[in-house]
Amino acid sequence: MDISSFDPRLIAALRSANRVAVLTGAGVSAESGIPTFRDAQTGLWAQFRAEDLATPEAFRRNPRLVWDWYAMRREGVVQAAPNAGHLALVELERQVTSGDGTFALITQNVDGLHAAAGSRTVIELHGNIRRVKCFDCGRIAQRWEPTSDRPPRCADCGGLLRPDVVWFGERLPADALDAAWAAAGACDMFLSIGTSGLVEPAASLPRAALRHGATVLTINLDVETRAAPPRFDIHGKAGMVLPALVTA
């Protein structure tokens, strides 16, 4: 892929962009070997029932099942490395902020790979699987003693520890959500990458950016490549398209 692969109006919009906001989903980490959620065969929700594993009710019903499932996922995450898509976003941030531009990276991913790649302004909308928090007192911990108890218990109140991720039916962290809306409302260029756009409120962010007059680019495997400025869609893998786009 090279500059000729892209609509010249998109390249012009990217070059002149001064306030960039990016929304990422599981598709960005797929090339790092982390399964997405809704891919027909390999997606987590094709293999497991979300209501048995990713809700507060499921945790109350069977805390060990939920803890073990997230421990299995965490194992996969800590062994994964950022891919070319993550690294291209680090480069885009550097380019945009080298002048007086602003850049915000809003992610639904809980894998921490954007920060691991070197992204500086990451807004984690759905939490981070590398942290835990107490189900009772809410105390967040980066480290916890692996004990025979699964889940282990909170050092403060003795409550059960759970992954610090947002489960279905739970509120998003208010500060992250406010920052995401602010970035989408103020940007002149919005990139939506590797998300099915099925989960709110994240799914509404590209529309908010469009309403504020931003150019919106979607990179995904379930869109057809088309240009209808200010909207641009590119069918392709994030790890292929992003490096070429950022170089262009």
Catalytic positions, please?
126
Q: Which position among 65, 71, 221, 244 is part of the footprint of ligand APR (CB under 6 A)?
A: 221
Contact between 74 and ligand APR per CB under 6 A: no
As measured in angstroms, the least distance from the Cβ of 198 to ligand APR is: 6
Stretch that binds ligand APR, among 2-10, 28-36, 57-65, 152-160 (CB under 6 A): 28-36
Contact between 31 and ligand APR per CB under 6 A: yes
Q: Are the beta carbons of 234 and 27 closer than 8 angstroms?
A: no
Contact between 198 and ligand APR per CB under 6 A: yes
As measured in angstroms, the least distance from the Cβ of 241 to ligand APR is: 8
Residues 6 or more apart in contact with residue 143 via CB below 8 angstroms? none
Q: Which position among 119, 192, 195, 218 is part of the footprint of ligand APR (CB under 6 A)?
A: 195
Q: CA separation (Å) from 200 to 24, 48, 157, 215, 233?
A: 13, 21, 33, 21, 20
Q: Which position among 19, 38, 231, 235 is part of the footprint of ligand APR (CB under 6 A)?
A: 38
Q: How many whole angstroms from its chain centre is CA 141?
A: 21
DSSP 38: S
Contact between 30 and ligand APR per CB under 6 A: yes
Total count of residues recorded for the chain: 248
As measured in angstroms, the least distance from the Cβ of 48 to ligand APR is: 11
Residues 42-71 that bind ligand APR (CB under 6 A): 43
Torsion of CA 198, 203, 206, 208, to 10 degrees: 140
As measured in angstroms, the least distance from the Cβ of 78 to ligand APR is: 18
Q: Which position among 73, 114, 126, 162 is part of the footprint of ligand APR (CB under 6 A)?
A: 126
Stretch that binds ligand APR, among 112-120, 147-155, 177-185, 196-204 (CB under 6 A): 196-204
Contact between 25 and ligand APR per CB under 6 A: yes
Number of residues lying near ligand APR (CB under 6 A): 23
The C-alpha atoms of residue 65 and residue 9 are separated, in whole angstroms, by: 50
The C-alpha atoms of residue 245 and residue 248 are separated, in whole angstroms, by: 5
Q: Are the beta carbons of 190 and 106 closer than 8 angstroms?
A: no
The C-alpha atoms of residue 104 and residue 144 are separated, in whole angstroms, by: 30
Q: Which one-letter amino acid corresponds to residue 221?
A: L
DSSP 153: B
Q: Is 51 left (phi over 0), alpha (psi -120 to 50) or beta?
A: alpha
Residues 127-186 that bind ligand APR (CB under 6 A): none
Stretch that binds ligand APR, among 3-11, 31-39, 175-183, 206-214 (CB under 6 A): 31-39
Question: 190 has which bridge partners?
Answer: 21, 216
Give the interface with ligand APR as residue ranges (CB under 6 A).
Answer: 25-27, 30-31, 36-39, 43, 108, 126, 194-196, 198-199, 219-222, 237-238
